[in-house]
Amino acid sequence: LAGRVYAYRVVGQRGLELLDVELGTRKDLTQLGSHMHVWRRQGGGAGPLILLGSPSEHSYSSSKWGMMAAAAAGEAPERGWQAGEVRVMDPAAWGGRQVGGGEELAGLVRILSGMQSPGHFGRGLASSTATGDVWIGEPFGGGEAGRVYRWSADAAEPQCFGMADGGHARLGQTIRAASGAGVELLAVSAPHDSQFSRLAGSVLLMHSRAEPS
């Protein structure tokens, strides 16, 4: 479950060509590549970046202890356990085969790290066409209540944008951004929300231009 990502080039209308690029990590149980998103940045002719989520990756920069017990030992998990990370990659730098992790990956622009164990930061990924911001879900944050973070390229760290009001809703499992008539909304899933019926789930619509909570 370490995860691996391969790159293809579209040839013609239906063909695919496998590039000599392989992105991996030396860590175990990261689920690297299980969640990916193409971030089409705004202005300045900037090319797209690729967000690679690894929601169960151990985050060594995490600063909070876990909310759940480790499955095997029945003890509190070590700091950063399954906190999750998001790698921001520039595909323009993929000139050859790359195997490894961390800063060894060609085209690595930034690593965004989850701050809670086991938050699963990076399970939901989306970007805004109106503001150019990136949206990141952390469905296990806050004791499985769930959080949504907002990040822009000029920000030091992602900021919490919204969170569920208690319970085990797992807000941020998936995120989609949609715009029309000058308004952009985020559709954020909370698959375990029980406000209407136990574990029935719900989808929240959030204004992307609102102030972070």
Domain coordinates of the chain in residue numbers?
1-113, 123-213
- Per-residue pLDDT, averaged over 120-136, amounts to 89
- For 171, half-sphere exposure in the C-beta direction (CA atoms, 13 angstrom radius) is 24
Q: 31-35, 63-67, 77-81, 93-97: which has the highest mean pLDDT?
A: 31-35
List the single range of 7-11, 50-54, 87-91, 154-158 with lowest mean pLDDT: 7-11
Residues 198 and 191 sit within 8 Å (Cβ to Cβ)? no
Q: 37-51, 85-99, 158-172: which has the highest mean pLDDT?
A: 158-172
Burial of 61 (0-12, 13-18, 19+ CB in 10 A): middle
* Cβ contacts of 37 within 8 Å, gap of 6 or more: 50, 51, 53, 125, 126, 127
Alpha-carbon dihedral 126, 129, 130, 133, rounded to 10 degrees? 40
* Higher pLDDT among residues 20 and 128, named by residue: 128
pLDDT above 80: residue 46: no
**What average pLDDT does the structure give for the chain?**
78
Of 176, 138, 169, nearest to 57 by C-alpha is 138
Confidence band, pLDDT 50/70/90 cuts, at residue 64: very low
- Per-residue pLDDT, averaged over 63-67, amounts to 40
Q: What is the pLDDT of residue 205?
A: 85
- Per-residue pLDDT, averaged over 115-120, amounts to 87
pLDDT above 80: residue 161: yes
Confidence band, pLDDT 50/70/90 cuts, at residue 100: low
Q: Which residues lie across from 49 on neighbouring strands?
A: 39
- Per-residue pLDDT, averaged over 92-102, amounts to 62
Q: What is the pLDDT of residue 69?
A: 38
- For 168, half-sphere exposure in the C-beta direction (CA atoms, 13 angstrom radius) is 7
Residue 46 backbone class (left: φ over 0; alpha: ψ -120 to 50; beta: rest): beta
Residues 96 and 20 sit within 8 Å (Cβ to Cβ)? yes
% of the chain residues with pLDDT over 70: 77
Residues 30 and 4 sit within 8 Å (Cβ to Cβ)? no
pLDDT above 90: residue 5: no
- Per-residue pLDDT, averaged over 181-209, amounts to 81
* Cβ contacts of 93 within 8 Å, gap of 6 or more: 106, 107
Confidence band, pLDDT 50/70/90 cuts, at residue 97: low
Confidence band, pLDDT 50/70/90 cuts, at residue 67: very low
